[in-house]
Amino acid sequence: MKKRVGALDWANIAKDLDAHGYATTGALLTEKECDALTGTYAHEELFRSRVVMARHGFGRGEYQYFSYPLLPILAELRAAFYPLLSDIANRWNEAMGIDVRYPREHAEFLARCHASEQTRPTPLILRYGPGDYNCLHQDLYGEHVFPLQVAFLLSEPGADFQGGEFVLTEQRPRMQSRAEVVPLARGEGVIFPVHHRPVQGTRGIYRVNMRHGVSRLRSGERYTVGIIFHDAK
């Protein structure tokens, strides 16, 4: 996985994140890996909790947080993406005047989370059926936040489901919000900010507040896996 992730065009990913607030990976997970991850949903023993979104006003559909120890593929994705994203995260924090810096190794950042009672794993799998959607939100789970996350589409758009588009919004200071719809292929990941990002304006750099969600499924079934790098309280 380290090789596969390392082989992505990271200069271009950084450029897209800076310019548009997200970047896509192209099909990174194989069909077999997508099927295997989708198949985990039924295995309760792999999860620490299940959330029915409608019960919390989060939308419609459900998701489950994996427990530790994570499945090898999830542990590998977390460890492989983190060092490359930490460079961008550190550059962004510097640009936004935020003091926090991220160590180069994910294990070291997790130790920081765990020392502050953020010990519960956050990688998750989401399942949507007809009419389901995910309200715009931010995945903040405590004081420690790694500012970028990745979501992988496990289902085949147009064949397994219709609708259900990944949506990002950015709220600029004193301006109206702007939305981006991110088309994804099966196995493709989208890298996006957890809560904010720096934008170069005419009078310096300002912070833009970001949210993500999923538009309503018209039909079928859609699964995604989310890789979040901070743990939860």
Ligand X SMILES: O=C(O)CCC(=O)C(=O)O
Residue 75 CB, shortest distance to ligand X, in Å, is: 17
Residue 205 CB, shortest distance to Fe ion, in Å, is: 25
Alpha-carbon span 53 to 47, nearest angstrom: 16
Residue 214 CB, shortest distance to Fe ion, in Å, is: 9
- Residue 118 in contact with ligand X, rule: CB under 6 A: no
- DSSP-derived pairing of the beta strands 217-220 and 166-171: unpaired
Alpha-carbon span 10 to 4, nearest angstrom: 12
Alpha-carbon span 109 to 55, nearest angstrom: 32
Residue 182 site contact among ligand X, Fe ion, none (CB < 5 to 8 Å, cut-off depends on kind): none
Alpha-carbon span 191 to 22, nearest angstrom: 5
Binding site for Fe ion (CB under 5 A): 139
133 to each of 35, 50, 136, 171, how far by Cα in Å? Answer: 22, 16, 10, 21
The binding track of 138-167 with respect to ligand X, each residue x by CB under 6 A or -, is -x-----------x--------------x-
Alpha-carbon span 11 to 14, nearest angstrom: 5
Judged by beta carbon, residue 141 or residue 206, the one nearer ligand X is 141
Residue 26 CB, shortest distance to Fe ion, in Å, is: 21
Binders of ligand X among 191-230, rule CB under 6 A? 212, 214, 224, 226
Classify burial at 45, counting beta carbons within 10 Å of its beta carbon; exposed 0-12, middle 13-18, buried 19 or more.
exposed
Judged by beta carbon, residue 109 or residue 133, the one nearer ligand X is 133
Residue 138 CB, shortest distance to ligand X, in Å, is: 9
- Residue 134 in contact with ligand X, rule: CB under 6 A: yes
- Residues lying near ligand X in the complex (CB under 6 A) are found at 126, 134, 139, 151, 166, 212, 214, 224, 226
